[in-house]
A = this chain, B = another copy of it.
Amino acid sequence: MSRRHCFLLRVRPDRLDEYRRRHQQVWPEMLRALAETGWRNYSLFLRGDGLLVGYVEADDLQASLDAMARTDVNARWQAEMAPFFVGLEGGGPDEGLVLLQEVFHLEDQLPGNS
């Protein structure tokens, strides 16, 4: 059973272009680590003012976060990304993610998809 997850972060408005550029070429080792730790259909969406929406499907997101946290590449990636974000309070962008509540999923309610 895949579970869908959504979280929000805030990118510094003066670093949006660089943030976009960095995410067009994420390190192959980072991509592999995400895939191997169960991150699927993972997208990031950016609003013009820096609001960032993350959407990811994972059977057990906490397990996937924990598994990423044990990789070296994640520590290096998050250290490079941290200065792009507002209000992390000392942690990395992957720490203390606040998840939104899913209140609707089309396929859960469609007949024949139960």
Cβ B35 vs Cβ A110 within 8 A: yes
List of B residues within 8 angstroms of A47 by Cβ: 8, 100-101
Is there a chain B Cβ closer than 8 Å to A114's Cβ?
no
Q: Which of A43, A53, A101 has the most CB of B within 10 A?
A: A43
Cβ A45 vs Cβ B100 within 8 A: yes
Count of A residues near B, CB < 8 Å? 37
A44 to chain B, nearest CB (A): 4
Cβ A106 vs Cβ B46 within 8 A: no
Q: What would 21 A/B residue contacts be, using CB atoms closer than 8 Å?
A: A20-B101, A20-B103, A26-B104, A26-B109, A31-B106, A31-B110, A31-B111, A34-B106, A35-B106, A35-B110, A39-B106, A40-B107, A41-B106, A42-B107, A43-B106, A44-B102, A44-B103, A45-B102, A45-B103, A46-B103, A47-B101
Is there a chain B Cβ closer than 8 Å to A6's Cβ?
yes
Is there a chain B Cβ closer than 8 Å to A70's Cβ?
no
Query: Residues 2-41 of chain A: 1 if any B CB is under 8 Å from the residue's CB, otherwise 0?
Result: 0010101000000000011001111010011011000111
Q: Which of A19, A25, A55, A106 has the most CB of B within 10 A?
A: A106
